[in-house]
Amino acid sequence: MLKGKKLLLLGSGELGKEVIIEAQRLGIDTVAVDRYDQAPAMQVAHRSYVIDMLDRQALRDVVEREKPDLIVPEIEAIATAELVKLEDEGYRVIPTARAAQLTMDREGIRRLASETLGVPTAGYQFADTYEQFVLAAREMGFPCVVKPLMSSSGKGQSVCRSEEDLDRCWTIAMEGGRVQQMRVIVEEFITFESEITLLTVRTVNGTMFCAPIGHIQKDGDYIESWQPHEMTDAQIEEAKRIANTVTDALGGYGVFGVELFLSQDKVYFSEVSPRPHDTGLVTLVSQNLSEFALHVRAILGYPIPEIYVTTPGASRPLKAEAELAEYRVEGVEEALSIPNTQVRVFGKPVTKAGRRMAVTLSTGSSVSEARERAKQALDKLHIIGE
């Protein structure tokens, strides 16, 4: 049988599924790990495990059993201290164990970006108790943005617009965090014209950038993305400078999803994910190499001669409205009747309110045409309980 390098994926959602597929195309042995059974990447990986990834011993047991060449985190909620130890013992963590640890919570990466690297960010304060949170919000001024230190897909984020919102925003942050901790970040509310993801690819022969991806978020989670996003030359150069500064500090190889705010005269750093980004799903149809193909090539040390947009593209995620143990996605045939449109149904075992279950991907002669097609396709899709 084919004997290739072995990749162990920590977190097996829809992004991890695409990483596994790309790795297998290059002859890589793949292992998917997550906290629940039948996660999307598990459905295509060679082998899979269900563990609590915050359990240090459980994580170590899987690694020592599989002895992977590459450990690839796909989410933040991992026992990163154990990854540091495993890296010290000779295992290769992507991009590095330190990067995984720093970006696991918003405090580490925000302090690195703002206080160590000096890149422009929104003002911020941290709070460990409700009383500290109230004082921080009042000092930051209303409106302000409230986030748990660690969450995924924007869960737990809200905008606190007045004193009357304090209780509500604190509750949202407490319920939306990935781990049970009280600490939150309170951010200055920046008035921006748009927000983008600049996919930054660190390779053996230097750093490369994808064309900027524009996106719209609601409650911290993306509801639409498109590529390319229109920017001035000055904005693009500043965005690249910030992304390069942050990713150089994190080190390692692979794709980094760098989120930025664009105002009329300034570019602000927001967050970074040391892995493919959900808004980058659009690259499945818009680029010569998707962010997933780029990630796998980069971490394997394979060449990436060039990255370019082949056609304007857009994506729209389908989100569940309620929890369903059994469901089906209807309207796929109708969605695929929209010109230049694809649909990816993720195959998650159950739905939860706000959970992404599928995505529409469309291209067009212009970004506006692609966005309209992706919206039309999304309108055809429906989640039905069985």
Residue-wise pLDDT for 352-382, tens only, equals 999 999 999 999 999 999 999 999 999 999 9
Q: What pLDDT does residue 105 have?
A: 76
Q: What pLDDT does residue 386 have?
A: 84
**What integer best gives the mean pLDDT of the chain?**
94
Give me the catalytic one of 11, 13, 16, 154: 154
Q: What pLDDT does residue 4 have?
A: 79
Mean pLDDT of 154-172: 91
Alpha carbon separation from 293 to 274, 299, 377 (Å, rounded):
15, 10, 25
Give me the catalytic one of 18, 238, 259, 291: 259
Mean pLDDT of 296-324: 97
The lowest-confidence range among 68-72, 150-154, 206-210, 232-236 is 150-154
Q: What pLDDT does residue 76 have?
A: 86
The pLDDT confidence band at residue 248, using thresholds 50, 70 and 90, is: very high
Q: What pLDDT does residue 104 have?
A: 80
CATH architecture of 6-93: 3-Layer(aba) Sandwich (3.40)
Give me the catalytic one of 22, 195, 271, 291: 271
In this model, does residue 315 exceed pLDDT 70? yes
Domain 123-188: give its CATH superfamily.
ATP-grasp fold, A domain (3.30.1490.20)
Q: What pLDDT does residue 264 have?
A: 83
The pLDDT confidence band at residue 1, using thresholds 50, 70 and 90, is: low
pLDDT 10s digits, 46-63: 999 999 999 999 999 999
* Percent of the chain residues topping a pLDDT of 90: 88
The CA distance from 222 to 273, in Å, is 14
Residue 162 annotated among the catalytic residues of the structure: no
Q: What pLDDT does residue 143 have?
A: 96
Query: Rounded to two decimals, what is the model's pTM?
Result: 0.94
In this model, does residue 156 exceed pLDDT 90? no
In this model, does residue 179 exceed pLDDT 70? no
| Torsion region of 362: left, alpha or beta (phi above 0 gives left; psi -120 to 50 gives alpha) | beta
Asked if domains 6-93 and 194-385 share a fold, the reply is no
pLDDT 10s digits, 212-236: 999 998 877 899 999 999 999 999 9
Q: Nearest 10 degrees: CA dihedral of 18, 19, 23, 28? A: -120
Residue 323 annotated among the catalytic residues of the structure: no
Residue 200 annotated among the catalytic residues of the structure: no
Mean pLDDT of 24-28: 97
In this model, does residue 152 exceed pLDDT 70? no
Give me the catalytic one of 279, 283, 341, 351: 279
In this model, does residue 178 exceed pLDDT 70? no
Q: What pLDDT does residue 153 have?
A: 60
Residue 152 annotated among the catalytic residues of the structure: yes
Mean pLDDT of 284-304: 98
Residue 245 annotated among the catalytic residues of the structure: no
In this model, does residue 97 exceed pLDDT 70? yes
Residue 279 annotated among the catalytic residues of the structure: yes
Would you list the domain boundaries of the chain?
6-93, 123-188, 194-385
Mean pLDDT of 196-222: 94
Specify the fold of 194-385: D-amino Acid Aminotransferase; Chain A, domain 1 (3.30.470)
The pLDDT confidence band at residue 106, using thresholds 50, 70 and 90, is: confident
> Angle 228-221-22 (CA atoms, 0-180°, nearest 5)?
60
Residue 290 annotated among the catalytic residues of the structure: no
The CA distance from 73 to 291, in Å, is 15
Task: Answer yes or no: are the C-beta atoms of 311 and 363 closer than 8 Å.
Answer: yes
Q: What pLDDT does residue 191 have?
A: 86
Q: 10 Å Cβ neighbour count for 352?
A: 14
Q: What pLDDT does residue 371 have?
A: 98
HSE-CB of 81 using CA atoms within 13 angstroms: 4
The CA distance from 222 to 279, in Å, is 7
Give me the catalytic one of 110, 183, 355, 356: 356
